A and B are shown apart, each in its own frame.
Chain A
Amino acid sequence: MTEPVYLDNAATTPLDPRVLESMLGHLGGRRGNPSSLHAFGGSAREELEEARDSVASLIGASPGEIVFTSGGTESDDGAVLGLARSAGPNKRHAVVSSVEHAAVREAARRLELEGFEVSWIGVDADGIVDPVEFAAALRPDTALAAVVWANNEVGTVEPVPELAEICAEREVPFHADAVQAAGRVPIDVSETPVSTLALSGHKLYGPQGVGALYVREGVSLEPIIYGGGQERGLRSGTQNVAGIAGLGTAARLAREEIEPRVAHERTLRDRVMAGMEALPDVFVNGHRERRLSNNVHLTVSGVEAESLVLFLDSLGYAIGSGSACSSGGHKASPVLLAMGLPEREAFSVVRITVGKDNTPEEVDGFLGAFSTAVEQLREISPLYAG
């Protein structure tokens, strides 16, 4: 069989060879602890600061506002829990969208267990948060609000600039999970008044296990990890220098190449969508225009997602089953339920996410395989009348 085709870039992207190259020196060569005073430490420190500059540039931040973390989940948890815990005893309320990634959702549920009240903001059928409903939920005792910049499952892009403005006027700290959006949607924190923003390396062709949290200057944030006071005391622990160097390179490349990448992804995405339109009873979920350049999210009537994913896997194509995070247990995705998808359809959803390295030929091959797999699984499905 030929090399398998990877169409699950929202789960993780391949590592860019240029990123790998930039990491190798810190994995194989001499190394120091960036906190050390000697030359070894100094060299590591320089790497960190160079990466910090690159990450800051990607989102229009100052380098001093970037905190390196172990990834998107830590960044989200750190922001949600940190903002809530530093808000003071009279602010025990949070406003959170119902289409958050599990990292934000579960952190907010943790806050509920700690006695916070959380207003979960609904979405329309495309998964978009209504700014009016959002604004109405803000209260004098609101400690924070959080809305994902672009949803990881259906790829819908939220009106984060507008929501952040509302929060800035009301002086409510606002967190945006930009793990999927970064590198695809223009993000400029000098224009958009978010308080905190989460980034991840491995969605940007960078390494897994490293991410960043933007913390706007002046925003008070209680850390969730305590120790030697690294990263301005906001994230103790010796930094993952190789990973951070990789993240820095990935962020620099993402900034430099965002336009051709997005254009390429869009072409492939639209090719996938056009191919899907030819198939009976296959529906696109999420907003048609306000969606990530790489995301196609589908309901395939009468076909259960896991069986379709594994069928395609056997044919050499890798796609995601709805959300990779919820496919371990058989539970409908809260995001899809929030969008009003009936529970019985919530197991019939798959996610195809293209990337900068995919080709039109791969997409065409995939469309053929997809059609075969769907046809065969529907033949044995008691829920598809055809």
Chain B
Amino acid sequence: MSERYRPQVVDHLVRPRNAGEISDPSGRGESGDAACGDVACFTVGISDNVLKHVRYKVYGCAACIAAGSALAELVEGRHLLDAARVSKAGLVDALGGPLPAGKEHALTLVLDALHKAFEDHWNRKAGDMLDAHRGRGAGGKSVVAAMSGGVDSAVTSLLLKEAGYDVATVTFRLHDGERGSRSCCSPDTVLFARDTAHRMGLPHFTLNLKDLFDRRVMQDFVGSYTEGRTPNPCVACNAHVKFHASSFLADELGFHHVATGHYARVEEGPTLARPVDESKDQTYVLWPVPRELLARTIFPLGKYRKTDVRAIAEERGLAVAYTPESQDICFIPDGDYRRFIRKKVAAKPGDVVDDEGRVLGRHAGVVDFTVGQRRGLGVSAPTPLYVSEVRPRSGQVVVGRRQDLEVREVRVRDLNWFLDPEQAACVQVRYNGSPVPCTVEETANGGWVAYLDEPVIGVAPGQSAVFYTGDGERVVGGGVVARRSS
């Protein structure tokens, strides 16, 4: 048996504060599971970002009931920013001291339920308008910082706080593949991010963007492969999800800026510029951020090297200091994107052909192929063969020699310009590629074409083409590589 409860806990148990349920709440949040023995439910009434009413219900041990009661008492009447800052430590103080060993989960449970009620409030307010949201101007020193739970975003928030900003942190629920999803409480990533924010004394919010992310990122990802394009889900997320949602929350809170832990810099204009740490440069995936959102965006890490960021985390005692680098594709944690796609769409076999249409072999489905790929073609030839084109309609995978893949012009669509296109002096067509000198020209159908000074290979439709200035430092604009025929 565990040690005894403090009298404060028993008092909350016997005389619970704010127990009950609001009939027409601004938000409702539930955490826990009857099969685990604990369920907490919060309903909140919010107006003008003030928590006018808080009611809670708990099925669970005395610690859970007392923690729920103490939390409801603590946050009622407070501004959302202050309520969202209440940490486990603050709750422990309100309960007169630490709970008995083994009962600490009560704190996590009730905080999670309250935060889910806030999340519900935001999501109700956002409705379907979330992805259409556009930012207001910059200027003041307040910022909504996106927190994933990793070291980069944690240090981002910390640096902003130390620079004198009012910081509110936000974590997005993007998909169900998050680490440590359990039946009780939120996935570990959300709980971890919340703990990290609270340890820095910062308010933390969550937003449920699963529908938006599914529509704008995951469906596009699957669709791209089936259409023979090579998608970049980070680009899609930056174009439609992350910055819009951060901006929505900033507007709701009356905050000026948004921030993320990307390695890039925002210069006057606004212009996107390469970061100090070139090895971590993320400008290639940030080109689609709309200008009006970029104008209010801060990338504090643009001035730091990754090693500095880790050192800062370590020096300030952030528990995230040793977390591993995040995955390439966050919703495919095992990295096996082919298996992921095959679960969504049935693969149809087809022919492997050369550029004259001669059949060289069979393949199990076009989703397995991407332009530039050399392995797994199932065709033997005297010289190495590469995928030069994927034709989803006919199910053909075209292969050729390395030199057959060389292109000297790249067609680009869906452009987002930060600077005058005339300043585009070179183009980068792969995440880890180098910019190639080029000249650009607008085409009749509203797209652009880049004429390359030297040939490049493996330019895959669907990938990003990002234009840089002559010194290679600033992003002029970017777009999506179109099919050669289009």
- Chain A residue at minimal CB-CB distance from B33: A344
Assess whether B5 is in contact with A310, with CB atoms less than 8 Å apart.
Answer: yes
Asked whether A314 and B10 contact (CB < 8 A) given A328-B102, A380-B16, the answer is: yes
Chain A: interface residue total (CB-CB under 8 A)? 26
In the assembled complex, the CB of B188 is this many whole angstroms from the nearest CB of chain A, namely 19
Assess whether B37 is in contact with A307, with CB atoms less than 8 Å apart.
Answer: no
Assess whether A381 is in contact with B1, with CB atoms less than 8 Å apart.
Answer: no
Q: Which residues of B contact A311 (CB under 8 A)?
A: 13-14, 62
Contact with B along A303-317 (1 / 0, CB 8 A): 110110011011000
In the assembled complex, the CB of B43 is this many whole angstroms from the nearest CB of chain A, namely 10
Q: Which residues of B contact A329 (CB under 8 A)?
A: 102
- Chain A residue at minimal CB-CB distance from B41: A382
Assess whether A310 is in contact with B10, with CB atoms less than 8 Å apart.
Answer: yes
Residue with the highest number of chain B CB atoms closer than 10 Å, among A303, A306, A343, A380: A380
In the assembled complex, the CB of B247 is this many whole angstroms from the nearest CB of chain A, namely 34
Assess whether A344 is in contact with B34, with CB atoms less than 8 Å apart.
Answer: yes
In the assembled complex, the CB of A313 is this many whole angstroms from the nearest CB of chain B, namely 8
Query: A148 vs B237: C-alpha distance in the bound complex, in angstroms?
Result: 61
- Does B59 make an interface contact (CB < 8 A)? yes
Asked whether A310 and B13 contact (CB < 8 A) given A304-B61, A344-B35, A382-B39, the answer is: yes
- On chain B, which size bracket covers the interface? 20 to 34
Assess whether A383 is in contact with B34, with CB atoms less than 8 Å apart.
Answer: yes
Q: Which residues of A contact B20 (CB under 8 A)?
A: 379-380
Contact with B along A253-287 (1 / 0, CB 8 A): 00000000000000000000000000000000000
Assess whether A314 is in contact with B14, with CB atoms less than 8 Å apart.
Answer: yes
- Does A324 make an interface contact (CB < 8 A)? yes
Assess whether A302 is in contact with B5, with CB atoms less than 8 Å apart.
Answer: no
Assess whether B58 is in contact with A380, with CB atoms less than 8 Å apart.
Answer: yes
Main secondary structure of the interface of B (DSSP, over half): mixed
Residue with the highest number of chain A CB atoms closer than 10 Å, among B13, B41, B102: B13
Contact with B along A363-386 (1 / 0, CB 8 A): 000000000000011011111100
Assess whether B58 is in contact with A381, with CB atoms less than 8 Å apart.
Answer: yes
- Does B60 make an interface contact (CB < 8 A)? yes
Asked whether A307 and B2 contact (CB < 8 A) given A330-B36, A380-B56, the answer is: no
Q: Which of A307, A327, A328 contacts B13 (CB 8 A)?
A: A307
- Does B281 make an interface contact (CB < 8 A)? no
CB-CB contacts below 8 Å: B117-160 with A: none
Q: Which of A304, A313, A324, A343 contacts B59 (CB 8 A)?
A: A304
Query: A216 vs B41: C-alpha distance in the bound complex, in angstroms?
Result: 57
In the assembled complex, the CB of A337 is this many whole angstroms from the nearest CB of chain B, namely 11
In the assembled complex, the CB of B73 is this many whole angstroms from the nearest CB of chain A, namely 13
Query: A10 vs B211: C-alpha distance in the bound complex, in angstroms?
Result: 54
- Does A149 make an interface contact (CB < 8 A)? no
Query: A304 vs B13: C-alpha distance in the bound complex, in angstroms?
Result: 12
Q: Which of B13, B30, B61 contacts A382 (CB 8 A)?
A: B30
- Chain B residue at minimal CB-CB distance from A306: B61
- Does A134 make an interface contact (CB < 8 A)? no
- Chain A residue at minimal CB-CB distance from B11: A314
- Does A347 make an interface contact (CB < 8 A)? yes
- Does B65 make an interface contact (CB < 8 A)? yes
Q: Which residues of A contact B41 (CB under 8 A)?
A: 382
Q: Which residues of B contact A314 (CB under 8 A)?
A: 10, 13-14
CB-CB contacts below 8 Å: B1-51 with A: 1-2, 5, 10, 13-14, 16, 19-21, 30, 34-41
Q: Which residues of A contact B65 (CB under 8 A)?
A: 307, 377, 380
Assess whether A343 is in contact with B35, with CB atoms less than 8 Å apart.
Answer: yes
Assess whether B19 is in contact with A380, with CB atoms less than 8 Å apart.
Answer: yes
In the assembled complex, the CB of B319 is this many whole angstroms from the nearest CB of chain A, namely 25
Assess whether B61 is in contact with A328, with CB atoms less than 8 Å apart.
Answer: no
Contact with B along A327-343 (1 / 0, CB 8 A): 11110100000000001
Q: Which residues of A contact B38 (CB under 8 A)?
A: 304, 330
- Does B274 make an interface contact (CB < 8 A)? no
Q: Which residues of B contact A381 (CB under 8 A)?
A: 57-59
Residue with the highest number of chain B CB atoms closer than 10 Å, among A327, A329, A343, A347: A347
Asked whether A304 and B37 contact (CB < 8 A) given A380-B56, A380-B57, the answer is: yes
Query: A373 vs B30: C-alpha distance in the bound complex, in angstroms?
Result: 24
Q: Which residues of B contact A382 (CB under 8 A)?
A: 21, 30, 39-41, 57-59
- Chain B residue at minimal CB-CB distance from A329: B102
Assess whether B60 is in contact with A307, with CB atoms less than 8 Å apart.
Answer: yes
Q: Which residues of B contact A379 (CB under 8 A)?
A: 19-20
Query: A209 vs B59: C-alpha distance in the bound complex, in angstroms?
Result: 36
Residue with the highest number of chain B CB atoms closer than 10 Å, among A314, A328, A347, A382: A382
Assess whether A307 is in contact with B61, with CB atoms less than 8 Å apart.
Answer: yes
- Chain B residue at minimal CB-CB distance from A325: B1
Asked whether A302 and B13 contact (CB < 8 A) given A324-B1, A379-B20, the answer is: no
In the assembled complex, the CB of B383 is this many whole angstroms from the nearest CB of chain A, namely 61
In the assembled complex, the CB of B248 is this many whole angstroms from the nearest CB of chain A, namely 29
Query: A91 vs B186: C-alpha distance in the bound complex, in angstroms?
Result: 49
Residue with the highest number of chain A CB atoms closer than 10 Å, among B20, B37, B58: B37
Query: A11 vs B58: C-alpha distance in the bound complex, in angstroms?
Result: 28
Residue with the highest number of chain A CB atoms closer than 10 Å, among B1, B38, B41, B61: B61
Query: A302 vs B65: C-alpha distance in the bound complex, in angstroms?
Result: 13
Q: Which residues of B contact A376 (CB under 8 A)?
A: 14
Chain A residues in the interface with B (C-beta under 8 A): 302-304, 306-307, 310-311, 313-314, 324, 327-330, 332, 343-344, 347, 376-377, 379-384
Per CB-CB distance, the 5 closest pairs between chain A and chain B, nearest first, are A344-B34, A347-B37, A382-B57, A380-B19, A382-B41
Please, could you name 24 A-B residue pairs with CB atoms under 8 Å apart, sorted by A? A303-B59, A304-B37, A307-B13, A310-B10, A314-B13, A314-B14, A324-B1, A328-B102, A329-B102, A330-B37, A330-B38, A344-B34, A376-B14, A379-B20, A380-B57, A380-B68, A381-B59, A382-B21, A382-B39, A382-B41, A382-B57, A383-B39, A383-B59, A384-B59
